[in-house]
Structure 1
Amino acid sequence: MKMKQIFMILGCAVVLLVLNSCTVKTSDKDARKTLAVLCIGDSLTSGYKLVSPGKQSYPSQLGKISQHSLTVTNLGVPGATILKKGDIPYWLSEELDTALSSHPDVIVLLLGTNDTKDCNWQYREQFTEDYIEMVRILQQLPSGPQIFLCSIPPVHNATPSGISNERVAQLTEEVREVARVTGTQFIDVTTSFENMPKLFIDGLHPTASGAGRIAEIVMKAVVKS
């Protein structure tokens, strides 16, 4: 075989290797699926009192600011509690059934506000135990989701039901401990809302801007993980 032919064959081989390398990289990039995110929570998650929850709730805004890198499902249940003995336990919701039959990449929990009601506070000693159990169950999903636990936003107006900032602060520390015990990530959404009553409609439920701020905080945590 002549040297010229040998060089031509080697040249073609190099070109094929380069093309194949490019194809693999492109395929890898295309194969990066959009992350499926489940937002588990109560009325602060569902978007209660917002004009358009489907657009203004924090899960909806999270999906928007992610620029399609996240597919977000809102599984908020107004009034829901982590406590199994609570007046509206998340444990009995259809939304939890939906979560357990899903294949999420990420799960964000923002619960605890309603656990501070007078009717639920009597069971507060079980809060940490019930929260840990909830997380453990979600960790066992086949998709092996990454789980984030949010602190409970501050309450700017005490309610007749007994919800107060003092109680919320106590449970937030327990949420932090649950994250440590379960090896999940803790997201501080409290600091950004201290002394910011204007970001709440009634001192309890976030405005569209407040929900947007929660979305931004959650987005940063997910991106950093």
Structure 2
Amino acid sequence: MKGQLLKTKILLVCIVFNCACYSQSTLIDVAKYAHPIKIACVGASTVYGANIDNRPLNSFPTQLGRMLGDKWDVHNFGVNSTGILKKGEFPYWNTDAFKAARAFNPDVVLLILGVNDVKPQNWKYKSDFFDNYKEMIGIFRNLPSHPKIYLCREIPVFQDHWGITAKAVNKELDPMKKKLAKEEHLPMIDLYTPMINDSAMFGDGIHPDAEGAGIMAKTVAKTLTGKDFQPVSAIYPGKKSEWFGYDCYDFQYDLLDAKLVLPHSFAQGNPWIWNAYFWNWHPDMERILLSKGFAVFYVNTSDMFGSPEAMNDWNELYNYVTKYYHLNKKVALEGVSRGGLYIYNFAKLYPERISSLYAEAPVCDIKSWPGGVEKSPGDTTEWKKLLKALHLTQEQALQYKGNPIDSLEKLAAYHIPIWHNIGLHDSLAPNEENTFILVNKYVRLGGQIVVYPNTKGKIELHGHHYPIDDPAAAANFIMYNYFKKPDL
């Protein structure tokens, strides 16, 4: 009897010791990093935040970021319906998110792929599961940052849907992932056990709600730090910082980086201006508007050149910020240089949403820049990017009719007021090929447009860069046309 008791004690000590060793092996030492620790959350809908209200605020990666704080930088690279199997219906391999996750060069990778693979149309390729997963692990391991990789056990399936069954997940997928973690010497985060009694958080039996996403975040945060966490409430998404004395929230919407800067107190109706390109370039006008109660919004849709895909993103973001943060249904658009392509395209699609357009050294015809067909030197590298973004051949681009100078009738019919700040010596986006053509067409259609030549400061970059003589003049123009009354 004593011998059996001694064996039991030894066994318990070994179990506790092994758990302690395993726990220690999962911890991240923050002190070893000179920068915020970058976490890439790689997965499908449970990472993306399917069925979660206000996803940028309440998804699992966003909540994890709030819990961990400023010394961590958590990004959401989730894509609905995707799986690890290359021959499957929607391989994660083919997504922009996979490319972005690698470019992020993370310090930590959370792999939460597999649940969509058990669908019958995908699981017939399950013999490739280990090879495909090991290949992805190897790709992340070999990044310059050499990240620490965690494999995550799937959350519970409470109701079979879309070919995903609890039996397949628990009896096949789960043992395979445990075996994979062992073979690849990866720590495994158990997202299953903490949620096994929380079926009420799964509206469709598959996807957790915001509260469930919070449990996932708490579980991961404890694994990484060894500390207990509670959900951190927030009104606005992302990380809070300060921009010229105003609260600025940097957040992620799908794969897009966005900023929302808030005034100390909103003017009546919650007005706002949307900066299309080149954040923090000539910010004086925006600072004036902030002081008058406007919010300033920005999203990085770099290298999309106002394409239909960019406009789809803009439409989603417009709907997001007006729905959840009650910004005015009317917005003033601000476009600098190539930003002109964005604001004119969006205004032509949704003129009823626009209070005014402000453009600075705007590109109004792609043949001018980056095409360089006439006087402008153009830019061959940017031209190639543009052709790709707009899905055009060289010949099609030369006949393109989606420029700001084209199809201005609807803007004129909606009486959209426009302001162009120009430099008289701009040879990169020459006025003769851009603003002056647009002005001539818009005025003939009955449109209202102000052209302000800036002449007082030093000019650079072929005259394309110049100081703004009077930022307050443009700010007053925007305010007047928002409220149709003298400046506030």
Q: Which residue of 1 aligns with 2:51?
A: 49
Task: Give the drift of 1:132.
Answer: 1.2
TM-score, length basis structure 1? 0.83
* 82-91 or 179-188: bigger deviation: 179-188
- Say which SS state the counterpart of residue 55 (structure 1) adopts: helix
**Cα deviations by residue, 1:182-202 (Å, 9 ceiling, x for unpaired):** 122111111112132112121
Q: Which residue of 2 aligns with 1:120?
A: 122
1:65-214 correspondence to structure 2 within 5 Å: 65-159=67-161, 161-169=162-170, 170-214=172-216
* 116-125 or 77-86: bigger deviation: 116-125
2:116 alignment partner AA: N
Distance in 2, matches of 1:51 and 1:134, equals 31
Distance in 2, matches of 1:58 and 1:113, equals 17
User: Which of residues 37, 57, 60 is equivalent to 1:58?
Assistant: 60
Q: Which residue of 1 aligns with 2:380?
A: none
Whether the 8 Å contact between 1:45 and 1:76 is mirrored in structure 2 is yes
- Say which SS state the counterpart of residue 191 (structure 2) adopts: coil
Distance in 1, matches of 2:193 and 2:142, equals 31
**Cα deviations by residue, 1:8-64 (Å, 9 ceiling, x for unpaired):** xxxxxxxxxxxxxxxxxxxxx797421011000001000011111101110000000
Q: Which residue of 2 aligns with 1:10?
A: none
Distance in 1, matches of 2:32 and 2:225, equals 19
- Say which SS state the counterpart of residue 183 (structure 2) adopts: helix
**Cα deviations by residue, 1:65-119 (Å, 9 ceiling, x for unpaired):** 1122211110000000010111000011111111222221101011111011121
1:34-45 correspondence to structure 2 within 5 Å: 34-45=36-47
1:162 alignment partner AA: G
Aligned pair in 2 of structure 1 residues 192, 30: CA closer, same or farther (>3 Å)? Answer: closer
Distance in 2, matches of 1:65 and 1:31, equals 18
Aligned pair in 2 of structure 1 residues 31, 105: CA closer, same or farther (>3 Å)? Answer: closer
Distance in 2, matches of 1:200 and 1:164, equals 14
Q: Could you say which structure has the higher strand fraction?
A: 2
Aligned pair in 2 of structure 1 residues 108, 30: CA closer, same or farther (>3 Å)? Answer: closer
2:130 alignment partner AA: T
Q: Which residue of 1 aligns with 2:337?
A: none
Q: Which has the higher contact order (CA 8 A, sep 6+)?
A: 1
Distance in 2, matches of 1:117 and 1:30, equals 41
- Say which SS state the counterpart of residue 104 (structure 1) adopts: coil
- Say which SS state the counterpart of residue 162 (structure 1) adopts: coil
- Say which SS state the counterpart of residue 62 (structure 1) adopts: helix
* 175-184 or 201-210: bigger deviation: 175-184
Q: Which runs of 5+ in 1 are unaligned?
A: 1-28
After superposing on structure 2, the runs of 4+ consecutive aligned residues of structure 1 that deviate more than 4 Å are: none
1:163 alignment partner AA: I
Q: Which residue of 2 aligns with 1:15?
A: none
TM-score, length basis structure 2? 0.39
Distance in 1, matches of 2:81 and 2:67, equals 27
Q: Could you say which structure has the higher helix fraction?
A: 1
2:42 alignment partner AA: I
1:167 alignment partner AA: A
Distance in 1, matches of 2:201 and 2:121, equals 27
Distance in 1, matches of 2:102 and 2:76, equals 14
- Say which SS state the counterpart of residue 88 (structure 2) adopts: coil
Whether the 8 Å contact between 1:136 and 1:182 is mirrored in structure 2 is no
Distance in 2, matches of 1:201 and 1:74, equals 22
Q: Which runs of 5+ in 2 are unaligned?
A: 1-30, 227-488
Distance in 2, matches of 1:30 and 1:107, equals 17
2:150 alignment partner AA: F
Distance in 2, matches of 1:207 and 1:86, equals 27
2:120 alignment partner AA: D
2:118 alignment partner AA: T
